[in-house]
Structure 1
Amino acid sequence: MATVSSSSTEQQASALTLLVLLPVLYISYHLIKRALTTTKKTKKKPTTHGLKSHLLLGHLPAFLKNHHGFLDWSTELIVASPDHRMGFWIPGMWTCIVTGNPADVEHVLRTNFANYPKGEHATAMLQDFLGRGLFNSDGEQWLWQRKNASHEFSSRSLWRFVIDVVSDEVAGRLLPLLRRAADGDSRVVLDLQDVLERFAFDTIYMVAFGHDPCCFCLAADGGGWV
């Protein structure tokens, strides 16, 4: 009796192990097959130039390694790529192509813009911030928004306002700052990228919202930012 009971228990354990292993093996097989297929496809394309794709992890290790300087890292990859575009793949998340090729940008934004909608996922994420305006719409709604915006942006009053805003920003803030930095006694070192970013932010914000955020304002003690 004890022998029969022991044999029955072993059979049940083996059956349970088999039931657990079968789904695992099935899923593993399809993941490996998909990874091999993706790897073969990407090898034929120059979109992964200089970027190693792992069998099951895709480009996830490279993302984790460079997440602190992702923009600089991705820019370096795009510049080094022969066609200035890179393909990224992370299993279970997304596959995307990032391009710095002017021909690609013109094709997406101008030549065949209607073929590249933002999609419901992107518009839903940005809806609280952008609503359903020109920058967050697709199809017929986008065309209607674009017609209204093009009419508004072609008006002379808007162009005069833009010219006035830029002129005031240049004469009142940018040039005085550059003169102060050029003075040999002050020894002011300027980060031109930071200066021009603040200049652009103030002018665009003024044109869009009619309010001066004063990101480019000079501090009262001279040389600092407020």
Structure 2
Amino acid sequence: MHPPPLPATIQSVVSSLPFRRAMDFSSDLVSLSATTALGLLVLYCVWRIFHRGSNHKKRYPPVAGTVFHQFLNFRRLHDYHTELSRKHKTFRLLAPFRQQIYTSDPTVIEYILKTNFPNYGKGLFNYQIINDLFGDGIFAVDGDRWRHQRKLASYEFSTKVLRDFSGAVFKSNAVKLAHTISKSVIANKKLDIQD
């Protein structure tokens, strides 16, 4: 047999007990927290959609291929890179765990080598690789050490030094060429200048 139903007064007493009110409050709190979290997530998604095209987004060069494309074109790798450079002045090649950026755009090259040179250092990795060959020379170092090396080298690459050197080389080669032409004329032989 079923127990008899509780009188209405006892049911009202049970529903007014403190633990019953605490359970209702905690379930309301969980519902409120879940609703708030969901609302914040929706607001974030909407914000991302509308701010995706803003000027703060980084622009990357187009991806022109992967390291696997280089393997496929290995026999003609130089021609492959030349074709890519004609198609895209600046482009990326993706490889596992890294990407490489190539450029043939004169404005980008000037920006890297002149306008904003300090931001494009060789880095510790490259320094460690080429240090054995070049030591702390201009091709291996960055920053102040590079500036010092450049200052030292600039004297050797001045206009006067280069003109004197190239003038001497030109005179020496011109004398050799004149001698070779004279011998061919005397012997009445054809001369292929490319030889």
Q: Do they fold alike, i.e. is TM over 0.5?
A: yes
Question: Can you list the C-alpha shifts for 1:144-175, whole angstroms capped at 9, x where unaligned?
Answer: 11111113333745541332123323553599
Instruction: Give the secondary structure class of the aligned counterpart of 1:95.
Output: strand
Partner of 1:169: 173
Alpha-carbon distance, 1:106 to partner: 0.5
Residues 89, 143 of structure 1: alpha-carbon distance in 2 compared, 3 angstrom cutoff: same
Cα distance between partner residues in 1 of 2:123 and 2:178: 40
The CA deviation at 1:116 is 0.4
Equivalent residue number for residue 47 of structure 1: 62
- 1:27-42 paired onto structure 2 within 5 Å: none
Query: Pairwise mapping of residues 21-170 of structure 1 onto structure 2 (< 5 A)?
Result: 47-48=62-63, 51=64, 59-81=66-88, 84-92=89-97, 94-154=98-158, 156-157=160-161, 159-170=163-174
Q: TM-score, normalised by structure 1?
A: 0.50
- Residue pair 1:85, 1:101 contacting (<8 A) in 2 also: yes
For the structure 1 residues 73 and 150, does the alpha-carbon distance in structure 2 shift closer, same or farther, using more than 3 Å as the test? same
Shift of the 147–189 alpha-carbon distance from structure 1 to 2, 3 Å rule, reads closer
Q: Scaled by the length of structure 2, what TM-score is found?
A: 0.56
In structure 2, C-alpha distance between the alignment counterparts of 1:137 and 1:117, rounded to whole Å: 8
In structure 1, runs of 5+ residues without a counterpart are 1-43, 53-58, 191-222
Q: In the comparison of the two structures, how many residue pairs are matched?
A: 133
Q: Quick one: percent identity of the two aligned structures?
A: 28
Which structure: larger Rg? 2
The runs of 5 or more residues in structure 2 that have no matched partner are 1-58
